[in-house]
Structure 1
Amino acid sequence: MTDKELAIYIGSKIREYRKKRFLTQNELALSVGIGHTTIANYEKGFRTPKKNTLFKIAESLNVTIDDLFPPVQKEDTLSSPTPQVLHLDRKLQEPRHAEWISQGERLLEEQEAESATINEPLYEYKVFEKLAAGNGYTYFNDGNFDIVFHDEKMDHDFASWVFGDSMEPTYLNGEVVLIKQTGFDYDGAIYAVDWDGQTYIKKVYKEETGLRLVSLNKKYADKFAPYDEDPRIIGKIVGHFQPMTT
């Protein structure tokens, strides 16, 4: 089972047990101490809970942590030689038997060499569920973050999750956006904005009385953040990616 398949399985079990307990995503999130959007992403398999969070979820659902994982498969069937291998081992005579073993070792070396080229280094990113603006160029977070990995190292000051489809097709739900703490650069660039207790990823236009926040997805209307409500530009979006499994 791949890491992605495991994430989907765990998410499906969280949803199954949550519904059996007649809990909403928000109720479960409050019990665990995380945001309801994080529960939604767990259930969709976009993200895998960290170990301590898994224990809290299991406790809130009144199940064991093993209940959230696939049944353990016995390894004896995986390690036993197949009938074809046993047949070849018994029937092949020298020098053909030695040639068969040599060919197998060569193929194994090729396979390991290919794996070595594929396994490029992964870089760690700390991704916050919410960013909030402080005074000037100082920013803080709500303490709830995830560690994810990507095969490219990109310069940034903050990383945050994309929630929803308002910035599709460029920024997808479950992706990570990278934010550079630049302040306002120019109209129409993509920024992270703190306003009304939330962090928005939007195209931003400065107008006389406030900031106009524009979605890339045309089905969403513009939002307007008046200056007297103190909207803060956290920074400019300088990159985005889908987290990689390790």
Structure 2
Amino acid sequence: MFSEIRLKERRLAIGLSQVDISNQLEINRSSYCSWESGRAKPNQKNLIALAKVLDVDVAYFESEYNIVNNFLQLTTANQQKAEEYVEELLQSQQSNKVIQLFPVPVLSDIALSAGLGEAQFDEYETEIVYSAAEQYGYDIAAWIEGDSMNPVYKSGEVALIRTNGFDYDGAVYALSWNDSVYIKQLYREETGFRMVSLNEDYPDKFIPYEDEPRIVGLVVSHFMPVVGR
């Protein structure tokens, strides 16, 4: 990439004015000034002429010239050391990158008992955790505890729930029953709901409608917090 800084430094180093160079190149001064200001770059014809006036190689005006020129003067062993050092710098730079995190309010230590609706969740405390990706399309965030939904839903993750009723068999819902909330695959049967765990070590559970189970909502996503709890 053409470097206006290197152009100006070379001109000053050999004691030429902008007018001196523009006259030798037979261009107007404003054109030359645009090269030094970075507003424009010389075409190949003017670049070759400019290098001749300033007594340098055409590659001199490249911003990487010093790096490449110095590297080529190193011994083979030192070139290898230089390459290794550059790799270390790149890795260090990448590890120090600022990663944007997105806050997610999660219901804190709350058992979602039967009868609670979306509007009532505002009465309860939340704690803030952070996700590496922005989360959309949910109404409630709650902790997942236990291993009954392994390997998909892991203990310590946050479940994102969209508050709605029952949509279809086999989807994963948050269901409130007997003062506890279960995150399970749900199937509607004639007299109740059948809850199915993904972990085969856990048997199915049947919940009769007479127990008044309440569907909190559909689990639309889940994530392991980057920071939190």
Question: Are 2:140 and 1:149 equivalent residues in the alignment?
Answer: no
Q: Deviations over 1:18-77 (max 9, x none)?
A: xxxxxxxxxxxxxxxxxxxxxxxxxxxxxxxxxxxxxxxxxxxxxxxxxxxxxxxxxxxx
Amino acid at match of 1:221: P
Give the RMSD, CA atoms, in angstroms: 3.0
Amino acid at match of 1:187: D
The 5-angstrom pairing of residues 206-225 of structure 1 reads 206-225=188-207
Q: Distance in 1 between matches of 2:179 and 2:142?
A: 15
Question: Are 2:209 and 1:230 equivalent residues in the alignment?
Answer: no
Q: Distance in 1 between matches of 2:113 and 2:121?
A: 6
How far did 1:190 drift?
0.1
The 5-angstrom pairing of residues 69-218 of structure 1 reads 113-115=93-95, 117=97, 119-128=98-107, 129=109, 130-134=111-115, 138-140=119-121, 143-155=124-136, 156-218=138-200
Task: Look up the match of 1:240.
Answer: 222
Contiguous gaps of at least 5 residues in structure 1: 1-102
Q: Is the 8 A contact 1:192 1:200 kept in 2?
A: yes
How far did 1:148 drift?
0.9
The 5-angstrom pairing of residues 37-76 of structure 1 reads none
How far did 1:141 drift?
7.1
Q: Deviations over 1:176-230 (max 9, x none)?
A: 1111112211000000000000010000011111111111111111111111111
Contiguous gaps of at least 5 residues in structure 2: 1-81
Task: Give 3-state SS (helix, strand or coil) of 2:155's partner.
Answer: coil
Give the 3 Å change call, closer, same or farther, for CA 139–201 of structure 1 in structure 2. Answer: farther
Task: Look up the match of 2:77.
Answer: none
Q: Deviations over 1:80-114 (max 9, x none)?
A: xxxxxxxxxxxxxxxxxxxxxxx9xx999856742
Q: Deviations over 1:2-23 (max 9, x none)?
A: xxxxxxxxxxxxxxxxxxxxxx
Q: Distance in 1 between matches of 2:208 and 2:126?
A: 29
Moved more, 107-116 or 176-185: 107-116
Q: Is the 8 A contact 1:134 1:140 kept in 2?
A: no
Task: Give 3-state SS (helix, strand or coil) of 1:163's partner.
Answer: coil
